[in-house]
Amino acid sequence: MPAAITSERGPGAGAGTRTRRPRAAAAVLLAALLSALLSPSGAAAAQTAAQAAAPDRAVPTPMTHPEDDHAGSGLRRLGPAGREAVTPAAAAATGPAGLDVSSHQGAVDWAAVKRNGAAFAYVKATEGTTYTSPDYPQQYNGAYNAGLIRGAYHFALPNNSSGVAQADWFTSHGGGWSTDGRTLPPALDIEYNPYGSSCYGLSQSAMVSWIRAFSNEVRARTGRYPAIYTTTDWWTTCTGNNSGFGATNPLWIARYAGSPGALPAGWSAQTIWQYADSGVFPGDQDTFNGSLAGLQAFARGDGYTPPPASGWPTVRQGSTGERVRTVQYLLTAHGASLAVDGDFGPGTDSAVRSFQSAHGLAVDGVVGPGTWQALVVTVRQGSTGPAVTAAQSQLKAHGASLAVDGDFGPGTDSAVRSFQSAHGLAVDGVVGSNTWQALVA
């Protein structure tokens, strides 16, 4: 299986010791790389040809557009099927708002970003072992000066050099951390390859080893394990859905949909969710899973643990009661036609499986964490419909006195705020992911 070409010589990726190969394969490899250098648009073709000549190793990528490589740039590989409509209100209900930027955005008006409600930002610092963002100083320092909590991230090219080499480049060119309460932990952006094969020519085991080496080196140099930015699809495909990082590395999940969805193995909850590539802020739109106090604790390194997705209950065929009624109301809100009777029978099972199939979830008819997070609809004062009815029914089951009429008016708003206060949630009257989780727990 392919393995990373390693180098410990700093800039100049791929400079490490290499094994001998047949001359014909070496000639094809050289021709492929020369083609990429002479014609930037041929980089992907060159990598494919080179891999055919040397299938036992990953091939270095010529960086032809690092200014366009940013957290989420590879998501376009998924096309329209990789995104759904998501409103800022739905995402904001999970916690403080944020953004991530790179040289693709250029100079950022951080005062305006702060006025528009941002609490934190991640800024691209480096890529590979040769690129540093020319806009990093303005973006990183500007965010801090405007009052945001900010951090730096590295765009990984695992086929170009070792995890240790890239971690060293990153931490030497902006990827640091301090206990000032204003600095997020360093972050690793590991996602779809913008230059070629999704997994950079590495086997799943080699990819896990690369990420582990990067993570450990960042920890050794900064005192913090890096957050990992990825998607569930990429992580499953390229690491075999490895579960070995959840205990040490915060998860920064990317999913352009109404919820973070099913998470990679090992993580019970995301710390940050990138939910859109445009919106009220420059760059990509993010939200922190928790409160502002939690965000500050996360920055300080105080052992912040996000609300776990594992807190969602599991309901399946044969279940009965209020949770089933909530599932049925929410399925109706998503367009299903079924009786809301609190009885999880064949009709509800069929509706759940159809919903799971349409949203890229495991089709098993079981409403667990991933399905709950995709099902819930954020509602607030002024909302109407079955999702409001579901929230009202749950609030009533928790002792609130209000009409279950599908109309989110002042009475429902008051009941939601009372429930949030009693359960240690942000008291904002918005029934988002965290409030839904507490309602159905």
Positions annotated as catalytic residues are 100, 189, 191
Torsion angles phi and psi, residue 132, rounded to 5 = -125, 140
Closest CA to 248 of 224, 218, 217: 224
Q: Is the dihedral of CA 426, 429, 432, 435 positive or negative?
A: positive
Nearest of 313, 320, 367, 315 to residue 343 by alpha carbon:
320
**What span, in angstroms and rounded, lies between the C-alpha atoms of 324 and 403?**
20
What is d(CA 351, CA 121) in angstroms, rounded to the nearest whole number?
39
Give yes or no for a contact between 237 and 264, defined as CB atoms under 8 angstroms apart.
no
Bridge partners (DSSP) listed for residue 272: 252, 288
With H, G, I as helix, E, B as strand and everything else as coil, classify residue 276. strand
- The residues, any chain, with a CB within 8 Å of residue 184's CB and separated by 6 or more, are 120, 122, 149, 150, 151, 177, 227, 298, 299
Q: Could you tell me which residues are beta bridge partners of residue 123? A: 101, 152
Within 269-368, residue ranges assigned H as helices are 292-300, 322-333, 346-358
Residue with tokens 């934190």: 120
Q: Quick check: helix, strand or coil at residue 333?
A: helix
